[in-house]
């Protein structure tokens, strides 16, 4: 029975969804009237004078097929163009509500931080082709960007969740003013989603598609400019043919370029123009308008998604580099998410990434810790927020693996299954395995082979405070444990010290270092601490006195010796407000800097010495007047049997 259970939780599945923006954009452009080719003349704009963007989602047809005649499914078997409608393509009232409420959440989210030069008068909504019969106003007012929203079938073989296209622009700055978002009604969630939803894939998909209209599109890149000068950027697109005879394309606008250089330690003069690489794989719909998947996997704007998508630096810097928009910096500081993938400092103390990662095969330039070698092995994804799978296949001499010097230079038997990730042997997020989605267990049980999955058997907890950790924990009355470690989800909390505190079956475990193992009452096996900098990146962090260690970490049983407490951020607190003790023993702070506290252990009464000898005690700190700021670090100091005089 144990081996059967292990087989179920170990063999998680992966499912990718693609974005077909470029293909959809090309189709809509062919349907628009011919546009005059004119040289763009941008106006000079003071970003500080811009106002919050006003979005208008034109969605009256959602749930009312009469307002989108011949294009919205009303019955199974109905033909919409060359696509046969399935039952799942019909937009029920429940589906219409999911779309409209989620779109309203997207509107509220985007309007909170994007500013533009406002359009002062009305402008017309004049579009033809597939949208000529769509119900829409002749013109809109008090609007800076109008989006047609439609729900139309994609066919039962499509992996696309939604598509978007620009339909109209300003005549001077060429900022998009009219667009369309087409939604696949067969893959909608059961409930509306927002930024804070545990499962928010539909929400992030809509933000992704809206971003294609706003700025991030192959058809818009050439219009990006500097609003302070009114001039186009010196270099926007940089093309490069690498030594593998492969063409690469980079966005070289200021913010994106500087961010890439800092992230990948770019210093060589021949690489200084290289910024954000643009994806060249994934077919006509994906290539050209997405960040390169190999380097920016799980970013919001990735062309192929496995569920999670982080709204991070690329999103905000692209908006600013376009010149069309200004970002509300205070709101950005609150909502910008940390992009953990390939930020090796969060998972390793010894590995480094250098600039060659931009132009060389990932087999030679990726951190070794990122590469997996056992097909279908259960592993935590690199962000430690979701379970993952080592997603490999046997190498064959197929067209998708040419040139081999890039895709398989080491002639490995197994290579990565995903061609958009350049067949690198990477961990892929598993389906229905996002630890912060409380509905993940129910979603997983709907998959074949997982019908009996019970998270309680493995001490798992899914929720917005959960992290992924490797574990052999198993609740077996016969005393069994899992035969090897598997990725599991557990409730946790993080402090401003970026250390994880796992809370499993009522027991809190302080992860002083990644890799520490803990046992849990009522379960066989153990759990392994994840890297704190990665696991804590996108979790709320409780404010702490950021103490790291005590030097020396042991001392005489009678006290009165000096110790140094190492940490950071101590300047935030007045010395007289800090109260620190080792177990029950108070210490007196003599002096402090931002990173060190010099203190003396107070004299220890003889009556309690025997209870302390050779027992690791808690380092406790608190701040007067701020009872919510407390720190407890287990096992940080040991009282020895020697006395201060050495007797």
The CATH number of domain 432-541, selected from 2.60.40.10, 3.10.130.10, 2.30.34.10, 3.40.50.2300? 2.30.34.10
Q: What is the pTM of this model?
A: 0.90
Q: What is the CA radius of gyration of the chain?
A: 28
The residues near 234 (Cβ < 8 Å, ≥ 6 apart) are none
Q: What's the average model confidence in pLDDT over 198-215?
A: 96
| pLDDT at residue 449, as a whole number | 81
3-state secondary structure of 473: coil
Euclidean distance between CA atoms 477 and 523, whole angstroms? 9
The residues near 268 (Cβ < 8 Å, ≥ 6 apart) are 355
pLDDT band at 492 (very low <50, low <70, confident <90, very high): very high
Q: What's the average model confidence in pLDDT over 279-295?
A: 90
Domain spans in the chain, listed from the N-terminal domain onward: 40-214, 225-335, 369-431, 432-541, 543-640
Report pLDDT digits (tens) over 67-102: 999 999 999 999 999 999 999 999 999 999 999 999
| pLDDT at residue 68, as a whole number | 96
21 dihedral zone (left: phi>0; alpha: psi -120 to 50; beta): alpha
**CA 615 to mean position of chain CA atoms:** 41
Query: Percent of the chain beyond pLDDT 70?
Result: 92
Which architecture characterizes domain 369-431 according to CATH?
Ribbon (2.10)
Give the lowest-confidence range in 137-141, 429-433, 445-449. Answer: 445-449
Sign of the alpha-carbon torsion through 554, 559, 564, 566: positive
Lookup: tokens for 15: 């499912």
| pLDDT at residue 396, as a whole number | 81
Euclidean distance between CA atoms 328 and 313, whole angstroms? 14
Highest mean pLDDT among 314-318, 440-444, 556-560, 634-638: 314-318
Which architecture characterizes domain 225-335 according to CATH?
Alpha-Beta Complex (3.90)
Q: What's the average model confidence in pLDDT over 576-587?
A: 96
DSSP secondary structure of 91-128: --HHHHHHHHHHHHHHHHHHHTTEEE----S-EE----
**With 90 as the cut, is the pLDDT of residue 448 above it?**
no
pLDDT band at 4 (very low <50, low <70, confident <90, very high): very low
pLDDT band at 5 (very low <50, low <70, confident <90, very high): very low
| pLDDT at residue 621, as a whole number | 96
Mean pLDDT for all residues in the chain: 91
CATH of domain 40-214: 3.10.170.20
| pLDDT at residue 647, as a whole number | 44
Q: Do domains 369-431 and 432-541 have the same CATH topology?
A: no
| pLDDT at residue 36, as a whole number | 44
pLDDT band at 399 (very low <50, low <70, confident <90, very high): low
Output the CA–CA distances (angstroms, integers) from residue 532 to 149, 382, 468, 491, 561, in the order listed.
41, 12, 11, 14, 32
Query: Percent of the chain beyond pLDDT 90?
Result: 81
220-226, Cβ contacts within 8 angstroms, sequence gap of 24 or more: 220/166, 220/174, 220/176, 220/322, 221/251, 223/40, 223/169, 223/173, 223/174, 223/175, 223/322, 224/253, 224/321, 224/322, 224/323, 224/324, 225/40, 225/42, 225/173, 225/322, 225/323, 226/323
Sign of the alpha-carbon torsion through 28, 88, 281, 294: positive
What are the phi and psi torsion angles at 509 (to 5°)?
-125, 120
What is the CATH T-level fold of the domain 543-640, as seen in this structure? Immunoglobulin-like (2.60.40)
Reference 236, options 252, 248, 220, 225; nearest CA is 252
3-state secondary structure of 586: strand
| pLDDT at residue 202, as a whole number | 95
Reference 312, options 211, 222, 227; nearest CA is 211
Q: Contact 122/140 with Cβ under 8 angstroms?
A: yes
| pLDDT at residue 123, as a whole number | 95
Q: What's the average model confidence in pLDDT over 631-646?
A: 87
Q: CA angle 542-535-569, nearest 5°?
A: 40
Report pLDDT digits (tens) over 109-120: 999 999 999 999
Sign of the alpha-carbon torsion through 153, 154, 158, 160: negative
Lookup: tokens for 93: 């009232």
| pLDDT at residue 33, as a whole number | 53
| pLDDT at residue 344, as a whole number | 95
pLDDT band at 37 (very low <50, low <70, confident <90, very high): very low
pLDDT band at 39 (very low <50, low <70, confident <90, very high): very low
Q: What's the average model confidence in pLDDT over 275-299?
A: 92
End-to-end CA distance of the chain: 59
Highest mean pLDDT among 4-18, 28-42, 280-294, 413-427: 413-427
Sign of the alpha-carbon torsion through 339, 344, 346, 347: positive
Report pLDDT digits (tens) over 515-545: 999 999 999 999 999 999 999 999 999 999 9
Higher pLDDT pick, 28 / 237: 237
């Amino acid at each position: 029975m144990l081996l059967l259970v292990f087989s179920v939780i170990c063999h998680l599945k992966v499912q990718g969804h693609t974005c077909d923006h470029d293909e959809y954009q090309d189709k809509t452009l062919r349907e628009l009237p011919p546009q005059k080719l004119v040289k763009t003349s941008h106006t000079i704009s003071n970003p500080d004078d811009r106002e919050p963007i006003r979005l208008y989602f034109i969605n009256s047809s959602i749930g009312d097929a009469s307002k989108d005649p011949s294009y919205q499914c009303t019955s199974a078997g109905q033909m919409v163009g060359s696509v046969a409608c399935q039952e799942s393509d019909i937009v029920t009232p429940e589906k219409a509500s999911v779309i409209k409420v989620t779109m309203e959440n997207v509107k509220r989210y985007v309007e909170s931080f994007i500013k533009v030069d406002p359009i002062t008068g009305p402008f017309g909504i004049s579009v033809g082709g597939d949208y000529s019969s769509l119900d829409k106003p002749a013109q809109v007012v008090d609007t800076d960007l109008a989006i047609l929203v439609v729900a139309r079938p994609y066919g039962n073989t499509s992996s696309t969740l939604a598509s978007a296209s620009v339909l109209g622009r300003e005549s001077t700055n060429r900022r998009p003013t009219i667009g369309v978002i087409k939604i696949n009604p067969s893959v909608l969630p059961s409930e509306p989603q927002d930024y804070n939803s545990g499962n928010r894939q539909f929400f992030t998909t809509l933000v992704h598609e809206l971003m294609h209209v706003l700025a991030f599109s192959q058809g818009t890149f050439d219009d990006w400019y500097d609003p302070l000068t009114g001039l186009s950027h010196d270099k926007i697109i940089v093309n490069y043919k690498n030594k593998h005879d492969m063409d690469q394309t980079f966005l070289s606008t200021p913010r994106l370029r500087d961010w890439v250089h800092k992230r990948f330690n770019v210093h060589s003069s021949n690489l200084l123009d290289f910024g954000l690489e643009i994806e060249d794989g994934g077919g006509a719909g994906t290539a050209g308008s997405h960040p390169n998947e190999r380097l920016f996997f799980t970013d919001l704007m990735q062309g192929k998604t496995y569920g999670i998508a982080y709204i991070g630096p690329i999103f905000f810097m692209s908006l600013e580099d376009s010149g069309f928009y200004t970002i509300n910096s205070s709101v950005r500081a609150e909502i910008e998410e940390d992009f953990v993938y390939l930020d090796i400092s969060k998972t390793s103390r010894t590995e480094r990434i250098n600039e060659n990662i931009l132009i060389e095969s990932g087999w030679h330039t990726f951190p070794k810790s990122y590469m997996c070698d056992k097909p279908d092995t259960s592993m935590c994804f690199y962000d430690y927020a979701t379970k993952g799978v080592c997603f490999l296949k046997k190498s064959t001499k197929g067209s998708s693996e040419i040139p081999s010097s890039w895709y398989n230079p080491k002639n490995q038997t197994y290579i990565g299954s995903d061609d958009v990730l350049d067949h690198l042997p990477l961990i892929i997020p598993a389906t229905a395995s996002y630890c912060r989605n409380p509905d993940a267990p129910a979603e997983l049980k709907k998959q074949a082979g997982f019908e009996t999955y019970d998270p309680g058997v493995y001490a798992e907890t899914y929720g917005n405070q959960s992290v992924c950790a490797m574990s052999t924990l198993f609740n077996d009355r016969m005393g069994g444990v899992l035969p090897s470690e598997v990725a599991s989800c557990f409730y946790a909390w993080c402090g401003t010290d970026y250390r994880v505190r796992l809370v499993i079956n009522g027991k809190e475990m302080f992860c002083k270092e990644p890799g520490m193992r803990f046992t849990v009452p009522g379960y066989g096996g153990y759990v392994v601490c994840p890297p704190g900098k990665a696991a804590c990146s996108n979790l709320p962090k409780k404010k702490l006195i950021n103490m790291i260690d005590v030097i020396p970490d042991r001392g005489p049983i009678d006290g009165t010796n000096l110790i140094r407490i190492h940490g950071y951020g101590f300047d935030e607190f007045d010395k007289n407000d800090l109260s620190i003790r080792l177990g029950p023993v108070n210490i007196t702070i003599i002096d402090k800097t931002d990173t060190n506290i010099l203190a003396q252990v107070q004299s220890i009464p003889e009556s309690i010495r025997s209870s302390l000898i050779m027992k690791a005690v808690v380092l406790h700190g608190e701040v007067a007047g701020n009872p919510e700021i407390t720190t407890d670090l287990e096992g940080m100091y040991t009282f020895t049997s020697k006395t201060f005089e050495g007797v």
